[in-house]
Amino acid sequence: MLTATFAPPVCVLGLGLIGGSLLRAAAATGRHAWGYNRSPEVVHAARDLGFDASTDLTATLERAADANAIVVIAVPMPAVGSILEAIAEHAPDVALTDVVSVKSEMAAAVAAHGLSRRFVGGHPMAGTAESGWAASTVDLFRDAVWVVTVDDGTDPEVWQAVADLAIDCGSVVVPAESAEHDAAVARISHLPHVLAEALALAGAAGGDLALGLAAGSFRDGTRVAATAPALVDAMCEANASALLVALDETLAVLSAAREQLADGSTADLTRAGFDARARYDQQARVPITGVVPGEGDWLTALREAGRRGEVWAR
């Protein structure tokens, strides 16, 4: 990344799987990067590997304000409120982003602390079943999709800086409004978990005979049911209203299929499902062209491009 050494420094708040990986990835591009974590064990582990980390939130934020760093909120949603309070007190004017998996609730929390002016939401669609600093890696974001929000009032310079950071970390940037992001991930990330849990239950209700006959379709369809329940709860519950929409739609689809099956046919469901899966398989990552952040109706243009499945390239 030729531009990276001229890029703004990065201050990461929270050094778990995502925040830790971001500190590693940002440092690897040659940026000045430092992090905060409340746990001394995590901070020592990061320092032992040569990273710049601290348990002092106030000092970390004052340094970010002095250096005009991008501040990245990388703590779980329940901890976001107290972090935003500290930012409002010690670094109210920094460029601000986050890596939390729900975007509307995050944007609302930022607004409640009067920090919306220089905030642009982010969500790298990367993760593993692991968590914590020990699981973080420099290449977690390589070839991942990183959503960067384009809500009304977005500052174009901050947007560009956040998109650059995502691209420096190896990701592809997809622009989306916060509410659209939440609706989309409910469909393709949270609903799959709900259906996998339900399928696992249906199989186990058939006892060891059914489980003993299970092959590829059951194994693949239940794979994510092996995820730690608390992680699935955290994702689904934080995005409950969007997930309810997707789940209600699916209940209606399955109820209609049930009625057709009672009449002896599954043809409508299987044809529509086959076409839907084919559309997924045929997706291509077309680069967005002709949009300059800050020029013209750039937010509308980026939203429309994101809806077409296009990606932001530098």
15: which 2 tokens? Answer: 């050094």
CA atoms of 307 and 305, how far apart (whole Å)? 5
Question: Is 163 in contact with 312 (CB distance < 8 Å)?
Answer: yes
CA atoms of 176 and 299, how far apart (whole Å)? 9
Binding of a second copy by 142 (CB under 8 A):
no
Binding of a second copy by 283 (CB under 8 A):
yes
Question: Between residues 40 and 206, which has the closer beta carbon with respect to a second copy?
Answer: 206
CA atoms of 160 and 142, how far apart (whole Å)? 19
Binding of a second copy by 179 (CB under 8 A):
no
Q: Figure out which of the listed residues 62, 85, 93, 233 binds a second copy, where binding follows CB under 8 A.
A: 233
Output the DSSP codes for 279-304.
HHHT---PBP-S--TTSSSHHHHHHH
Measured from the CB of residue 59, what is the shortest distance to a second copy in angstroms?
A: 37
Question: Is 100 in contact with 124 (CB distance < 8 Å)?
Answer: no
Q: Figure out which of the listed residues 244, 295, 296, 314 binds a second copy, where binding follows CB under 8 A.
A: 244
Binding of a second copy by 306 (CB under 8 A):
yes
Binding of a second copy by 285 (CB under 8 A):
yes
Residues 245-274 that bind a second copy (CB under 8 A): 246-251, 253-255, 257-258, 261-262, 264-267, 269-274
Question: Between residues 48 and 282, which has the closer beta carbon with respect to a second copy?
Answer: 282
Question: Between residues 118 and 181, which has the closer beta carbon with respect to a second copy?
Answer: 181
1: which 2 tokens? Answer: 């990344």
Binding of a second copy by 103 (CB under 8 A):
no
Measured from the CB of residue 306, what is the shortest distance to a second copy in angstroms?
A: 6
33: which 2 tokens? Answer: 């990067």
CA atoms of 106 and 92, how far apart (whole Å)? 17
Stretch that binds a second copy, among 74-82, 88-96, 234-242, 294-302 (CB under 8 A): 234-242
Binding of a second copy by 225 (CB under 8 A):
yes
Number of Cα atoms under 13 Å in the Cβ half of residue 4: 18
Binding of a second copy by 135 (CB under 8 A):
no
